Amino acid sequence: MAAVELRGLTKRFGALAVVDGVSLDIAHGQLVCLLGPSGCGKTTILRLVAGFLEPSDGEIAVGGRLVSSPRRSLEPQQRNMSMIFQSYALWPHMTVFENVAYGLRLRRLPGETIARRVADMLRTARLEALADRYPGDLSGGQQQRVALARALVVEPETLLLDEPLSNLDANLREEMRFEIRRLHDRYRYTTIYVTHDQAEAMTTADLIVVMNAGRIEQAGPPEEIYYRPRSAFVAQFIGGTNILRGRRLDDRHMAVAGTTLALDGGADPGGGEAGSPAAISIRHHDIKLLAAKPASPENIVPARIARQVFLGSARDYLVEIADGSQMRVVTPADQSIAPGSAVWLHLPPDRCRALAS
């Protein structure tokens, strides 16, 4: 079993804590994405798990075995882990077959065993027809599959991926997200995947860990992170959203720009007294844009169109409300309202998510 436990993990460079007291349990066979902006500490955590860095404080255990602490750390080669870097790091003078076989040959396995395991892996990774080619003759997506095959063929306890799709174009990135998930479902190695791309995390992960300034902002399954963000940072980082700020009236109501909004999307997680500052998140596509004032005023916010952009399958509006705040609204493509027009925004109560203040 290769469950990974981070216990108060901290890494300082001088006075700066790049990773600051991170605790996280990763179950055996789980694919966890560390997601966040540059500088949030996610790659440093990966390098700590791999053994390339030693922690300043805290511990890392794999399968119940302590592998890192400030007093004792196992060398990377003693951890039974495979790591895939952004650059793939393939040997240019070796064929695809030889690249995939490299780790097995280092372990001095019998030739027949190597041939069988590499052939099985090439078949699983859909690389059979490319076995005799060199990396320079492959596309970016094919090189990435070779790197995955080489990492998996040695049967690691833990697979570590450091932004593995960042060098691919948009179409290949989309294809490889599903390929990584397919191979994970086939082998079920415990996997830690670092990315700043929320689409990669949503596609591949069992658990998303949103990082901010060296700490975990929120951790949960993709749907929970998307539909129930706990902070403005998480709401804005995962999918397009609007953050509206106003005053708290009670657990289920807040005042924004002269309008009372009912919040059925969850009580205020931060609590607070009536009149205290409050904030909600509502996704761009959850707002209904109305050209005529509706009969019922519930959760209706007057606004004016500042900008409209046709995107083919949808229209993207920028609107301004009474307090000067601007919001984005995404509507069907056939709903066209000219800039400068007065409109009314319906914010469905079950889509208004209260945020911790």
**Nearest-angstrom CA–CA distance, 47 and 55:** 10
Other beta carbons within 10 angstroms of residue 126's beta carbon come to: 13
Shared domain check, 10 and 58: yes
Residue 79 lies in a domain: yes
Shared domain check, 244 and 223: no
Residue 81, pLDDT above cutoff 60: yes
Residue 235 lies in a domain: no
**DSSP summary character for residue 73:** B
- Who's near 71: CB < 8 A, 6+ residues apart? none
Shared domain check, 196 and 53: yes
For CA atoms 265, 269, 275, 276, give the dihedral sign.
negative
**If you average pLDDT over every residue of the chain, what do you get?**
90
Provide, for the chain, the percentages of residues in helix, strand and coil under a 3-state DSSP scheme, each rounded to the nearest 5: 30, 35, 35
Q: What is the per-residue pLDDT for 10?
A: 97
Q: What is the DSSP string of 276-325?
A: SEEEEEEEGGGSEEESS--S--TTEEEEEEEEEEE-SSEEEEEEEETTS-
**Nearest-angstrom CA–CA distance, 188 and 267:** 37
Q: What is the per-residue pLDDT for 106?
A: 87
| Domain termination residue (choose one: 227, 258, 288) | 227
Indicate the range of 138-152, 168-182, 262-276, 313-327 predicted with least confidence.
262-276
Domain with 78 in it: 4-227
Shared domain check, 186 and 246: no
Other beta carbons within 10 angstroms of residue 1's beta carbon come to: 10
pLDDT digits (tens, 9 = 90+) for 195-253: 998 989 999 999 999 999 999 999 999 999 998 898 999 998 888 899 999 998 888 88
In the structure, what pLDDT confidence band is assigned to residue 160 with cuts at 50, 70 and 90? very high
| Domain termination residue (choose one: 171, 201, 227) | 227
153 φ/ψ angles, rounded to the nearest 5 degrees? -65, -25
Averaged pLDDT for residues 71-86:
89
In the structure, what pLDDT confidence band is assigned to residue 1 with cuts at 50, 70 and 90? low
In contact, 137 and 159? CB cutoff 8 Å: no
Q: What is the per-residue pLDDT for 206?
A: 96
Residue 329, pLDDT above cutoff 80: yes
| Domain termination residue (choose one: 167, 196, 227) | 227
In the structure, what pLDDT confidence band is assigned to residue 348 with cuts at 50, 70 and 90? very high
In contact, 107 and 143? CB cutoff 8 Å: no
Structure tokens that stand for 78 in this block = 């003693």
Residue 171, pLDDT above cutoff 80: no
Shared domain check, 186 and 104: yes
